[in-house]
Copies of this chain bind each other. A is one copy, B any other.
Amino acid sequence: MTLPRLKSLDELQPGDRYELGRLTFSLEDIREFARRYDPQPFHLDEEAARDSVFGTVVAAGLHTLSACFGMLMASPLLQEISLAGSAMDIRWPAPLRPGEEVTVSVEVIEVTRSRARKDRGSARLRYVARRVEDGVVVLDATGLHHLRR
């Protein structure tokens, strides 16, 4: 799939939706992120994870978030218009396990033009990761992006 390289915030409309691709973590991917940023036993150790509420190793929520956000930022979509980000609200409704494949999409929720600066504005973008097998959402995050016009 080819995503457009936007030239202006004005090309975004609430309701627009882009598919960013698919993502799968191996057990070692999950453990590598967790060792640095969330060293809880149920992200690191299969035996310890058996006694956790998850029953198996699951990805750190910040890992899923960072990887999905990275797919957006590595895509052409915002490369010419992204100025900064300043806020994010995140929900992890279900865990993500090693080997599970998710699709990652981004949807435009709101677009605001700056009154003070005619060359910029902001957009609320919602990133959703959904398990391919059963459609369950494992990440639902909305970020506030400051963008060029």
Q: Which residues of A contact B (CB under 8 A)?
A: 36-40, 52-54, 61-62, 65-67, 69-70, 73-74, 82-93, 95, 146
- Residues of chain B within 8 A (CB-CB) of A54 are 84
CA distance A106 to B137 in the complex (A): 29
Other CB < 8 Å A-B pairs besides A36-B70, A40-B73, 4 of them? A38-B70, A40-B82, A61-B85, A87-B91
Query: A94 → chain B, closest Cβ, in Å?
Result: 9
- Residues of chain B within 8 A (CB-CB) of A89 are 87-90
Partner of A39, one of B37, B70, B86, B91: B70
- Residues of chain B within 8 A (CB-CB) of A65 are 62
* Residue contact A37 to B66, C-beta cutoff 8 Å: yes
Query: A9 → chain B, closest Cβ, in Å?
Result: 14
